[in-house]
Structure 1
Amino acid sequence: MIVEGILQNDIYGDMLRRLISDHQGITRCYRYKIPFQETLKRHNTKPNAGDFGESEMRQWWREDDGLRGVDETLIGPDQSLADTTIQIIADCGWEPLPLNTASKR
């Protein structure tokens, strides 16, 4: 399961820590640690970029809102999506699909 979003520690922290504690399988936690300007730049490339913009994002933004008491792997602004995917697959002990198999799905 992947839980993704702007989940502020003071609002969602207890729930997320319970979810992590109760989970019986592999549990890994990752968090983007990128500056606001980079976040805004990435947002502007999304299909839903017009749904909300910089002013709304500034209201939600927290510079460093990690999930306290949990071992998180940080993903920085220079780490590509491909590298992040490879890292998560390796961290979970999974075998990546061969390219020819993945393209058939």
Structure 2
Amino acid sequence: MPRLVLLRGPSGAGKTTIARTLRTHWGRGTALVRQDVVRREILREHDVPGGVNIGLIDVMCRHTLAAGYDVILEGIFPAARYGEMLRRLLADHDGSAFFFAVPFPETVRRHATRPQSTEFTPEDMRGWYLPDDRLGVPGEVVLGPELAVKETVALIDAAVRRRCC
């Protein structure tokens, strides 16, 4: 059965790095669906309630899972806008949810090291920052800033394997 992994949290928390590393670890047959790519690059849509990206992300994940791919879904995904869709998707596919609980000053520090650091400011990030925006789904794992990339990937991999295998 294909695996569904949801990685959520503030901008600059390390979600994309972890998602890319986990995808490499799992190898071929693993799709990476990134909220930023769908919303900003494919649709050029602002993050608004009822946005087209919400349904498109749902369809992309369901289609890819039905084709037998594992799916890593990554983004900020504020629960107020995306929660209903994400809860249904996770429930329908026995998915695993991970929330990156990274303090705001640390997200700003990390953001300064990223290639897209000039695309938006710490003030922009403050407007998006939701410190404890968990979905409240069974088994949701909270990841703190103290774990290194390899440790985080190993933790996620082990948690997903326990859940599905």
TM range (shorter): 0.7 to 0.9
Identity of aligned residues (%): 37
Q: Which residue of 2 aligns with 1:8?
A: 78
**In structure 2, the residue corresponding to 1:30 is in which secondary structure?**
strand
Residues 52/70 of structure 1: CA separation in 2 closer, same or farther (3 Å cut): farther
Secondary structure in 2 matching 1:29: strand
Unaligned runs of 5+ in 2: 1-70
Larger Rg: 1
Structure 1: how far apart are the matches of 2:85 and 2:99?
17
**Cα drift, residue 82 of structure 1:** 0.7
Runs of 4+ in 1 over 4 A off after TM superposition: none
- C-alpha distance after superposition, 1:8-50 (max 9, x if no partner): 11110000001111115xx211111110000111111111111
Partners of 2:100 and 2:121 in 1: CA distance = 19
For residues 1-105 of structure 1, what are the structure 2 equivalents within 5 Å? 1-23=71-93, 27-93=95-161
Structure 1 vs Structure 2 CA RMSD = 1.6
Q: Does structure 1 retain, via aligned residues, the 8 Å contact 2:97–2:137?
A: no
5+ long unaligned stretches in structure 1:
95-105
Query: In proportion to residue count, which structure has more strand?
Result: 2
